[in-house]
Amino acid sequence: MSQQTSDLSVLHQWLQSAVDRGPIAIVSHKNGDMDTIGSACALSHALGDSARACGLYSSSIAKRILETTEGEFHLMDGNRPLWPRTLGSIVVVDAASPSQVGMSFPAGVPICAIDHHTGGADWSSADLHFHWDCHSTAEMVFSYLDEFRPASIDESVRRLLLAGVITDTGRFRHADSRSLAAASKMVEHDDLDYHSFVEEMESNELNHSQKVAISKALSRVEAIDAGEWFLLHTRAGTNEGVVARTLMSAGADVALVVRRAKDETRLVARASRKAVSEGCNLGEMMESLALRLDGEGGGHPGAAGWSGEAPAITARSGFIADLSGLRRESS
């Protein structure tokens, strides 16, 4: 038996016991991206009526995909989360630590964490921490369903998980063979046309105020030679991910978008595949920033973020200083 199959078997045994215990909360992380929402909804669908996908927030792309699938996601109040009195288990997907969930859990309820992030992981409070070094949690959930619950993999589940893989690999720019193999199996059925699906994902209908905010962010772009890296950075009031992708398409090695709202600063960064291959690891940089400035930071080598109470200029300067001190490696 391979290590991967052994890992999946342990997860299956835990989830089987969870079903026997009663209601299961499948909880996403607080930023509500497509990987966490898709993974939560797909797993909830597979486990049946006793499971419910829930969390604090659902991103715009996740909302669009949910509208075209049978995925159900329930928004919760982080200040007053309402849990079933008979809650038997909690499964957290795509969060490196409890703090990334954004709400407290009831005492005494068994917890399983399913996550793919490297570094900074802290699930000592969980009964089971199922972790693989891969590019998306959606890949992990698909591998589990494909091995132990293949009958549950219908069109909706494939759409939910494929969207998670596509977004967390940066539209496959940071994918590896495992990501591509999982995605290939998801689209091998005739009921899912890949090209139409991608067009559907990319059709981000922004309202007027969002378009104005993005235009303002792009008008404030500054170009910096941060040591050996070409950095484009700006401030944005919304849709930081859209702005960061636009900066990358303009030829940046690294894009940095800063947002300040409600006494919180947020950094969103992206790096080209070439930059990653030459030693740029944004996830590690954001983790390092969190150690110095507090807050929460992490992600992937090519896409990462940090949020905390430090002033925007402090966080931005810290990131730029770290990038400037990073040497390029020969690719």
Domains in the chain (CATH in brackets) are 3-202 (3.90.1640.10), 208-324 (3.10.310.40)
Note the pLDDT of residue 204: 63
Question: What pLDDT shows up at residue 191?
Answer: 76
pLDDT in 10s for each residue of the chain, 331 residues: 578 888 899 999 999 999 999 999 999 999 899 999 999 999 999 999 999 999 999 988 888 889 888 778 999 998 888 898 899 999 999 998 888 898 999 999 999 999 988 665 678 888 999 999 888 999 999 999 999 999 999 999 999 999 999 988 888 878 888 889 998 999 887 778 888 888 877 766 667 777 888 899 999 999 999 999 999 999 998 888 889 988 998 999 999 999 998 889 999 999 998 999 999 999 899 999 999 999 888 888 888 899 999 999 999 999 999 999 999 887 5
Tokens at 190, concatenated: 């005739």
Amino acid at 245: R
E strand or H helix at 150: none
User: In this predicted structure, what is the pLDDT of residue 174?
Assistant: 81
H or E element in which residue 216 lies: helix 208-219
Residues in the chain, overall count: 331
Of the candidates 179, 288, 162, 280, the one whose C-alpha atom is nearest the C-alpha of residue 231 is: 280
Comparing C-alpha atoms, which of 90, 102, 97 is closest to residue 127? 90
| Residue 284 backbone dihedrals phi, psi, to 5 degrees | -65, -35
pLDDT at 115: 92
Whole-angstrom distance, CA of residue 167 vs CA of residue 249: 16
DSSP assignment of 95-120: -SSGGGT-SPPPTT--EEEEE---SS
Radius of gyration of the chain (CA): 20
Q: Which of 161, 151, 168 is nearest to 182 (CA)?
A: 161
Give the closest residue to 289 by CA, choosing from 327, 315, 313, 263. Answer: 315
Whole-model pTM: value is: 0.77
Q: Which two tokens stand for residue 102?
A: 């954004």
